């Protein structure tokens, strides 16, 4: 009898999504949605309680003083909810940006009328602790620092520990967008201090899209009453209703919640954050080593490469056309992701989702075959890309 592989391919001939969410989910997660729940019913209230408790458990023992507030919408809704709820109207945020999500947070603050300054490091350079310390020392009006844990646009894993140290050494508060890292990279309050963080259902926990969650110090949530610019995106409002009635304030994404609880059970069965992170690291290591052997180069040095998503430079060979490469990879069962760098052409390959290193070895083989079909002799990037990368070393 054939043995069932630990990571069976997506059913019904679906391609693997090598993207940072929505991503490839387990069949069990999809199957958990084949039922209807009443949002007022005790069964669903128990599910909401379970969901919140399971997420808090991922913080480890240091999570005791924190609470979890799930919120309808995609991840950006939760970022906006966190910023609007925890930054008072007269607050001012230092936004640490090195990509699209940092810039989006700054735009969100502008839209909701909160003060902010931006440390813009460009496409991928990490914001460092000493820079944060300097800016905070020069500007006493800054009340909060916003850091992006993994900046998904380049795949860089930002140094949140040193950012946290600099923030609290200066007596300010840290908010973290851990959207694409939480569940695979530890964010335990025992080891890194922060007031609040956000993530969403469709990233490293491997659920389907439809809601996100804010995890914050309970005292911060209590103190956030009346801060929010928004009714629907008020973290305190959602929390107060959940605490009182066990219900979401407005229609909950019932099926998505059911899928997410299944995903959390699978996360636990796999071995929690450490095991999830280790699988993603193996995915990255096998994929990056294989792609480098084909001649591709990563944007980032190994030191900054996250196990979430990796940016590669497009080859200089004129026979390489990204749209064609994308189609050829899709024909072979893999959906890759365009790049987001402003200076040179790039593409991204995600390492997260329900797949293991054996799948990643097949991704590399598909890339090799696709290059051959396009007639690309070398996957080496243009000189300008390597020049760009030198900035990281400087
Ligand atoms: C995915 C993601 C978000 C949220 O994006 P949505 O499209 O609103 O889900 C925010 N920040 C980071 C770092 C992300 O990876």
- State which ligand 1 atom lies nearest to the alpha carbon of 200: 9
Is-contact 365 293, C-beta < 8 A?
A: no
Distance 226 CA to ligand 1 centre (A): 26
Sheet holding 309-313, edge to edge: 309-313, 346-350, 337-338
Q: Give residue 5's pLDDT.
A: 61
Q: Residue 1's pLDDT is what?
A: 47
What is the distance between the alpha carbons of residues 185 and 280, in angstroms, rounded to a whole number? Answer: 10
> Using one digit for the tens of pLDDT, what is the confidence trace for 86-109?
999 999 999 999 999 999 999 999
Looking at residues 167-179, what average pLDDT do you find? 98
pLDDT in tens, 177-207: 999 999 999 999 999 999 999 999 999 999 9
Asked whether the beta carbons of 60 and 190 are under 8 A apart, the reply is: yes
Distance 75 CA to ligand 1 centre (A): 5
pLDDT, tens digit (0-9, with 9 covering 90-100), for 307-347:
999 999 999 999 999 999 999 999 999 999 999 887 889 99
Say if residue 134 carries a ligand binding annotation.
Answer: no
**CA gap 160, 150 in Å, rounded:** 9
Ligand 1: centre distance to CA 179 (Å): 6
Q: Are strands 92-97 and 144-148 parallel, antiparallel or unpaired?
A: parallel
Q: What is the dihedral of CA 136, 223, 240, 227, to 10 degrees?
A: -70
Ligand 1 pocket at CB < 6 A: 20-21, 74-76, 79, 101, 148, 152, 177, 179-180, 200
Looking at residue 286, its pLDDT comes to: 98
Q: Give me the percent of the chain exceeding a pLDDT of 70.
A: 98
Q: How far apart are CA 320 and CA 315, in angstroms?
A: 6
Counting every residue written for the chain, the total comes to: 394
Cα–Cα dist 154/125, whole Å: 10
User: What's residue 10's pLDDT?
Assistant: 72
* 12 or 383: which leads in pLDDT: 383
Q: What is the pLDDT of residue 212?
A: 98
Pocket test of ligand 1: the residue of 74, 150, 179 to mutate, having most ligand atoms within 8 Å of its CB, is: 179
Of residues 343, 337, 301, 300, the one with CA closest to residue 322: 337
Shortest-distance atom of ligand 1 to CA 77: 8
* Mean of pLDDT values over 237-253: 98
Burial per residue of 13-44, b for 16 or more beta-carbon CB atoms within 10 angstroms, e otherwise: eebbbbbbbebbbbeebeebeeeeeeeeeeeb
User: Is the pLDDT score of 9 beyond 90?
Assistant: no
Cα 89 to middle of ligand 1, angstroms? 24
Asked if residue 368 has pLDDT above 60, the reply is yes
Domains of the chain: 16-23+272-393 (3.90.1150.10), 28-268 (3.40.640.10)
Half-sphere exposure of 145 (CA within 13 A, CB side): 35
Phi-psi region of 207 (alpha: psi -120 to 50; beta: other; left: phi over 0): beta
DSSP string covering 216-254: EEHHHHHHTTTT-S-STT-HHHHHHHHHHHSS-SS---H
Band (pLDDT 50/70/90 cuts) for residue 390 is confident
206-235: average pLDDT: 98
Task: Region of 49 please: left (phi>0), alpha (psi -120 to 50) or beta.
Answer: alpha
Q: What is the distance between the alpha carbons of residues 194 and 161, in angstroms, rounded to a whole number?
A: 10
Q: Which residue has the tokens 């329900």?
A: 354
Cβ-contact 204, 181 below 8 angstroms: yes
Cβ–Cβ under 8 Å, residues 359 and 17? no
Task: Report residue 4's pLDDT band, with 50, 70 and 90 as the boundaries.
Answer: low
What is the pTM (predicted TM-score) of this model? 0.96
């Amino acid at each position: 009898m054939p043995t069932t592989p630990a990571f069976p391919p997506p059913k019904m001939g679906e391609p693997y999504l090598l993207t940072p969410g929505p991503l490839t989910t387990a069949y069990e997660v999809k199957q958990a949605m084949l039922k209807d729940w009443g949002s007022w019913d005790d069964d669903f209230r128990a599910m909401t309680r379970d969901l919140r408790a399971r997420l808090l458990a991922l913080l480890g023992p240091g999570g005791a003083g924190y609470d979890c507030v799930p919120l309808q919408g995609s991840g950006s809704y939760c970022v906006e909810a966190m910023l609007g709820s925890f930054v008072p109207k007269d607050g001012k945020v230092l936004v640490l940006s090195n990509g699209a999500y940092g810039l989006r947070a700054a735009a969100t603050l502008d839209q909701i009328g909160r003060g902010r300054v931006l440390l813009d490091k460009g496409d991928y350079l990490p914001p460092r602790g000493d820079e944060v310390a300097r800016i905070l020392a020069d500007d006493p009006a800054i009340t909060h620092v916003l850091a992006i844990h993994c900046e998904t646009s380049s795949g860089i894993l930002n140094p949140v520990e040193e950012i946290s140290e600099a923030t609290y050494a200066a007596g300010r508060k840290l908010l973290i967008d851990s959207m694409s890292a939480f569940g695979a990279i530890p964010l335990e309050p025992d080891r890194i201090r922060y007031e609040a963080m956000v993530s969403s259902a469709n990233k490293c926990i491997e659920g389907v899209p439809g809601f996100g969650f804010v995890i914050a110090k309970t005292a911060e949530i209590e103190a956030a009453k009346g801060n929010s610019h928004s009714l629907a995106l008020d973290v305190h409002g959602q929390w107060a209703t959940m605490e009182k009635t066990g219900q979401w304030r407005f229609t909950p994404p019932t099926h998505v919640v059911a899928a997410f609880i299944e995903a959390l059970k699978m996360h636990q069965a796999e071995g929690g954050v450490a095991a999830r992170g280790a699988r993603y690291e193996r995915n990255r290591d096998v994929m990056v080593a294989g792609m480098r052997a084909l001649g591709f180069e990563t944007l980032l040095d190994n030191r900054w490469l996250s196990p979430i998503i990796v940016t590669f430079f497009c080859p200089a060979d004129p026979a390489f056309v990204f749209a064609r490469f994308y189609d050829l990879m899709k024909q072979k069962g893999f959906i890759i992701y365009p790049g987001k760098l402003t200076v040179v052409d790039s593409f991204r390959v995600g390492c997260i989702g329900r797949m293991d290193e054996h799948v990643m070895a097949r991704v590399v083989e598909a890339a090799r075959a696709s290059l051959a079909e396009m007639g690309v002799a070398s996957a080496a990037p243009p000189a300008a890309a390597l020049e760009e990368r030198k900035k990281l070393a400087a």
